[in-house]
């Protein structure tokens, strides 16, 4: 598309010639007196009128060009339509597929988690049963090791605490409350545990009260925690009397 395609070509050529002529006259004019000053003023007015002619010449071509530009843009937008619809359709279907795959994957993950929890429980129950048998045979160290292994099984749920035992006394039947004794058997291991947990260095005095409160904070129900360097021994209190038993979980030397 050349520069005069929307113009009346003959008028455009004529005006181009007229403009060149005025330019040459202006270049050759020398203002030296009143007469040449008047000629310069006349030449300036001719140039101003020349600009008006050019402006009028371009009114219709510019309107036609704007109209053509609008038509071209509308045609371009219309031609994009099918491709835009295809992209929208594909994106919607792909999104539905991806969501469905995520839903199915979650179902499978949930099933796997349930199955793993079931197998973990079987393994933990097996270890707990072996620990109980070892305890019956007086094999306390083996029982402690098995209990520790059970506690390390994923998804391990500690067995519910046994209800307080009842004993018969001269004054009738009374219920016991669960308690425990704690003994530091390896100070170095215990201090390392306290430091790693950000504990209070006051524990280094090995006062039974603070150490026992520290262990109490780590209990799960009535299940005693594993405290490195300490031995925890459960006991039942009956109206002020204490009955000690073997530790419910393994201790670490």
pLDDT digits (tens, 9 = 90+) for 59-68: 888 898 899 9
Could you tell me if 194 and 202 are in contact, meaning their C-beta atoms sit under 8 angstroms apart? no
Alpha carbons 23 and 130: distance in angstroms, whole number = 114
Query: Which neighbouring-strand residues pair with 241?
Result: 238
pTM of this structure: 0.38
Count CB neighbours of 212 within 10 A. Answer: 16
What percent of the chain clears pLDDT 70, i.e. is strictly above it?
67
Does residue 40 or residue 244 have the better pLDDT?
Answer: 40
pLDDT of residue 208: 65
Confidence of residue 55 (pLDDT cuts 50, 70, 90): confident
Q: Which of 23, 3, 21 is nearest to 12 (CA)?
A: 3
Contacts 24+ apart (CB under 8 A), 70-73: none
DSSP letter for each residue of 114-183: HHHHHHHHHHHHHHHHHHHHHHHTT-HHHHHHHHHHHHTSTT--PPPPPPPPEEEETTEEEE-EEEEEEE
Residue 175: pLDDT over 60: no
First to last CA, the chain: 94
- Cα dihedral angle (109, 112, 117, 122), rounded to 10 degrees? 180
**Residue pair 246/147 in contact by the 8 Å Cβ criterion:** no
Residue 38: pLDDT over 80 = yes
Task: Give the least confident one: 10-19, 70-79, 173-182.
Answer: 173-182
Lowest mean pLDDT among 43-47, 52-56, 210-214, 239-243: 239-243
CA 13 to mean position of chain CA atoms: 69
Which helix H or strand E contains 232, and what residues bound it?
Answer: strand 230-238
pLDDT band at 80 (very low <50, low <70, confident <90, very high): very high
CA-closest candidate to residue 176, choices 222, 215, 230: 222
Q: What is the mean pLDDT of the chain?
A: 75
Q: Rounded distance, CA 143 to CA 133, Å?
A: 8
Quickly state the pLDDT bin for 195 (edges 50, 70, 90): low
Q: How far, in Å, CA of 239 to CA of 165, rounded?
A: 12
Mean pLDDT of 208-225: 68
* pLDDT of residue 189 exceeding 80: no
Residue 245's pLDDT is: 39
Among the residue ranges 10-19, 101-110, 116-125, 147-156, the one predicted with the least confidence is 147-156
Q: Which of the two residues, 188 and 82, has the higher pLDDT score?
A: 82
């Amino acid at each position: 598309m050349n520069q005069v395609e929307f113009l009346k070509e003959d008028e455009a050529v004529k005006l181009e010639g007229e403009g060149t002529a005025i330019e040459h006259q202006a270049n050759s004019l020398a203002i030296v007196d009143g007469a040449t000053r008047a000629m310069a003023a006349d030449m300036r007015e001719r140039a101003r009128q020349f600009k008006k002619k050019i402006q009028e010449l371009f009114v219709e071509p510019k309107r036609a060009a704007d109209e053509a530009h609008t038509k071209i843009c509308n045609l371009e937008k219309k031609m994009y339509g099918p491709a835009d619809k295809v992209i929208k359709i594909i994106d919607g279907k792909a999104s539905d597929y991806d969501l469905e795959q995520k839903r199915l994957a979650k179902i499978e993950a949930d099933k796997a988690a349930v199955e793993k929890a079931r197998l973990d429980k079987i393994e933990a129950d097996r270890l707990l049963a072996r620990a109980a048998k070892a305890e019956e045979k007086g094999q306390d160290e083996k029982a402690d090791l098995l209990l520790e292994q059970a506690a390390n099984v994923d998804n391990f749920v500690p067995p519910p605490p046994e209800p307080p035992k009842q004993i018969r006394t001269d004054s009738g039947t009374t219920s016991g409350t669960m308690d425990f004794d704690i003994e530091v058997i390896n100070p170095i291991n215990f201090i390392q545990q306290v430091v790693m947990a950000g504990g209070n260095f006051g524990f280094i005095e090995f006062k039974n009260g603070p150490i026992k409160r520290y262990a109490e904070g780590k209990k799960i129900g009535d299940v005693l925690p594993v405290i490195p360097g300490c031995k925890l021994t459960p006991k039942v209190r009956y109206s002020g009397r204490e009955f000690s038993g073997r530790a419910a979980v393994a201790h670490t030397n």
